[in-house]
Amino acid sequence: MINLPNDDKSCGWYSVLPPAEPATKLAATQKADYAIIGAGFAGLAAARRLAELKPNARIILVDAQRVAEGASGRNSGFVIDLPHKFSLEHPDPELKQKLLGLNRTAIAQLQGLVDKYNIDCQWSAAGKYQGAVGSRGEAHLNHFEQLMKNLGETYRWVEKEELTKVLGTNYYSRAIFTPGSYLMQPAALVQGMGKNLPKNIELLEESPIRDLQKSDGKWILHGDHGTIITPKVLLATSIFTKEFGYLKNRLLPVMTFASWTRPLTDEEMKRYKGELDWGLTPADHAGTTLRMTADRRILIRNTYKHVPKYGKSIGNETRQWVQTDHRRAFLARYPDLADVPLTHTWGGIYAISRNFTNFFGQLEDGIYASACDNGVGAAWGTISGTLMADLVVGADSQNLADIQYVTGMPNLNPPEPLLGLGVKFRINLAKWQSRSEL
């Protein structure tokens, strides 16, 4: 039995979208040249690339939920060009340069789609601040500066006075600004890409795949009301890849949480005194992510939780204490906006691995996967999905060679209950160590 996504229905990004058209669902027996499971960043990119490479093929893209309801529509709205913090510390400079190139290829790809289809998703070349609250955060910033120098990347220091004018709060002491990141409304971007797929892609939503079986050289994907028969299956399923029997005991399901306000009124904007359309990530990775959206919403993201049962691990009580934590962080930064409520609190699941390695490649005959984004899903999902399609059809490229260079096999996890206890301990320890930066 495959455990399915069970996301809460309180995602702010998704809630403000216009109502979606009725879903087309899997019914009867369908035959396809290629089937892709998962319609997030990776699945959408894989389907689009397959359609470009094989314009006469029949391609089915199937998802258990609606497009943008899952993890791809639940992040904080950053598309980051720089390798993740832990990858930046990798001893191999060539690996870091390849990751940087792959991320920037993904950003250019997304930019092209936003422009081509006029996707209204607050797409913005705003860059990114990495902010410190106190001495612990500033020590992390000094380390980050050295990593930027080693990488040969552009950055600049932003001191407290300038930072306060941007953020509308004097809570932060210093920041480093890097110009290559983009901001967006993730649910709007993902939904917009789903609405503008090539003609030879059939998108089936609200159609969970319950089982994979092989018969006579073909894969049979069993749904509730129909099946898909195909020789090639692409798993763009991230943490749920292990539900199909692959990468078992190698991926960790972690949920991070965000809350946001309603749009600030004109009068509240005067009290806020900052700018619109910026994003700040914490110098200390366990700290707080902060955003002001282009439509005047302040977003707070922190709090991590190990979720072995995915969305079923989270109830209303958990969301309430998460919102209480977020409210505390909001008031610490914006005490003059104490009357502004947090209207939505939501979580999103992503996969991490103990050796911080992403999987990309063939799992067995006819089964391919990109899994384990390690928390940087927008750029990584886009480029890994695109290149998974190239791998399936045998289209060689430098980018394909690069992604094969930087990926590998996630380490095995210890057995339960040691795994759950260990993850909970690490999360709580990181929160305690970073308490001054929250």
Say whether both 279 and 340 belong to one domain: yes
Mean pLDDT value of segment 269-275: 98
In a domain, 281, yes or no: yes
Say whether both 401 and 299 belong to one domain: no
Q: Is the CB of residue 211 less than 8 Å from the CB of residue 2? A: yes
**pLDDT higher than threshold 80 for residue 11:** yes
In a domain, 49, yes or no: yes
In a domain, 1, yes or no: no
Convert the pLDDT of each residue in 177-234 to its tens digit.
Answer: 999 999 999 999 999 999 999 999 999 999 999 999 999 999 999 999 999 999 999 9
The domain in which residue 165 lies consists of 126-183+252-354+421-437
Question: In this predicted structure, what is the pLDDT of residue 312?
Answer: 86
Question: In this predicted structure, what is the pLDDT of residue 393?
Answer: 98
In a domain, 427, yes or no: yes
**pLDDT higher than threshold 80 for residue 7:** yes
Residue 276, classed as helix, strand or coil, is: coil
Alpha-carbon distances, residue 106 vs 110, 355, 373, 393, 399 (angstroms): 6, 24, 14, 20, 11
Convert the pLDDT of each residue in 100-137 to its tens digit.
Answer: 999 999 999 999 999 999 999 999 999 999 999 999 99
Convert the pLDDT of each residue in 352-392 to its tens digit.
Answer: 898 989 999 999 999 999 998 776 789 999 999 999 999 99
Model confidence at 86, pLDDT cuts 50, 70, 90, reads confident
**pLDDT higher than threshold 70 for residue 83:** yes
Least confident of 36-45, 83-92, 142-151: 83-92
Say whether both 157 and 174 belong to one domain: yes
Q: In the numeric block, which tokens belong to residue 73?
A: 């529509």
Q: For position 377, which CATH number holds?
A: 3.50.50.60
Q: For position 261, which CATH number holds?
A: 3.30.9.10
Model confidence at 422, pLDDT cuts 50, 70, 90, reads confident
Say whether both 23 and 137 belong to one domain: no
Residue 305, classed as helix, strand or coil, is: strand
In a domain, 82, yes or no: no
Specify the number of domains making up the chain: 2
Say whether both 264 and 363 belong to one domain: no
Convert the pLDDT of each residue in 161-171 to its tens digit.
Answer: 999 999 999 99
Question: In this predicted structure, what is the pLDDT of residue 434?
Answer: 80
In a domain, 100, yes or no: no
Mean pLDDT value of segment 282-289: 91
Single out the residue of 166, 355, 387 nearest to residue 273, CA to CA.
166
Convert the pLDDT of each residue in 222-269 to its tens digit.
Answer: 999 999 999 999 999 999 999 999 999 999 999 999 999 999 999 999
Convert the pLDDT of each residue in 20-76 to its tens digit.
Answer: 999 999 999 999 999 999 999 999 999 999 999 999 999 999 999 999 999 999 999
Neighbours of 246 (CB within 10 A): 18
Say whether both 164 and 193 belong to one domain: no
pTM: 0.96
In a domain, 239, yes or no: yes
Model confidence at 431, pLDDT cuts 50, 70, 90, reads confident
Question: In this predicted structure, what is the pLDDT of residue 426?
Answer: 79
CA 437 to chain centre: 23
> 362 has which bridge partners?
368
Alpha-carbon distances, residue 416 vs 249, 252, 304, 374, 421 (angstroms): 10, 12, 19, 21, 8
